[in-house]
C-alpha cells in the first residue's frame, strides 16, 4: 500500500509541477512563478505526510508528525479570504454573483456580507474576510507549534 501511495504522489506531483512549469515558461510572471513554488511546496509536504504516516508509531504515537504536515498543507489556503478581501477592495463593493444553485450556508454568508456592506460600506466585508484569513493563519501557526517534529 505504501508503494501505491508513493506512486500516486509521484504521478500527481509530476503532473502539477509539469503543468505549472509549462505555464510559467509560456507566460512568465510573478503569479506563474508563485504557482510553481506552491506546487513544489505541496509536493514536498505531501511526500513528508506520506512518510510520517508510515512511521512505526503511526498517527497517534508519541512522536507523531502527520499533524505538522497537515497544518502546513492547509496553511496556504488561509490566503483565499485575503484574496477575496482584495477583490472587494478592488471593486469598491462586495458584488454577489448568483450561479443559480441554492446553498443555505453560502446564502447566509452572502446575506451577512451584504448586511455588513449596507451598514459599514465596502470596508465591512473586507475587514471580516481579512480577520477570518488572519485568524485561520494564527490558529494554524499555534497548532503547528504543538506538533512534534524531530
Q: Give me the domain span that covers residue 143.
A: 75-150
Q: How far apart are CA 5 and CA 54, in angstroms?
A: 10
Tens of pLDDT, residues 32-75: 899 999 999 999 999 998 888 887 765 666 667 777 888 888 88
pLDDT one-digit tens code per residue, 98-116: 665 545 555 666 677 778 7
Alpha helix segments (H runs only) across 1-122: 2-26, 30-53, 66-74, 79-91, 104-120
**Confidence tier at 93 by pLDDT (50, 70, 90):** low
Task: Judge if 142 and 96 occupy the same domain.
Answer: yes
C-alpha cell at position 27: 507566460
Claim to verify: residue 98 and residue 36 sit in the same structural domain: no
Please give the Cα distance from 19 to 90 (Å, whole number). Answer: 29
Contact 113/128 with Cβ under 8 angstroms?
yes
Domain tally for the chain? 2
Q: Is 102 exposed, middle or buried (0-12, 13-18, 19+ CB in 10 A)?
A: exposed
Amino acid at each position: 500500500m505504501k508503494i501505491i501511495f508513493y506512486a500516486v504522489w509521484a504521478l500527481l506531483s509530476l503532473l502539477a509541477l509539469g503543468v505549472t512549469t509549462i505555464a510559467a515558461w509560456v507566460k512568465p510572471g510573478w503569479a506563474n512563478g508563485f504557482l510553481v513554488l506552491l506546487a513544489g511546496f505541496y509536493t514536498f509536504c505531501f511526500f513528508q505526510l506520506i512518510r510520517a504516516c508510515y512511521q512505526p508509531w503511526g498517527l497517534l504515537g508519541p512522536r507523531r508528525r502527520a499533524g505538522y504536515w497537515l497544518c502546513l498543507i492547509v496553511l496556504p489556503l488561509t490566503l483565499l479570504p485575503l484574496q477575496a478581501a482584495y477583490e472587494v477592495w478592488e471593486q469598491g463593493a462586495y458584488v454577489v454573483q448568483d450561479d443559480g444553485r441554492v446553498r443555505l450556508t453560502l446564502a447566509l454568508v452572502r446575506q451577512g456580507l451584504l448586511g455588513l456592506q449596507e451598514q459599514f460600506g465596502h470596508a465591512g466585508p473586507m475587514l471580516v474576510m481579512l480577520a477570518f484569513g488572519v485568524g485561520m493563519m494564527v490558529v494554524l501557526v499555534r497548532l503547528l507549534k504543538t506538533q512534534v517534529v524531530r
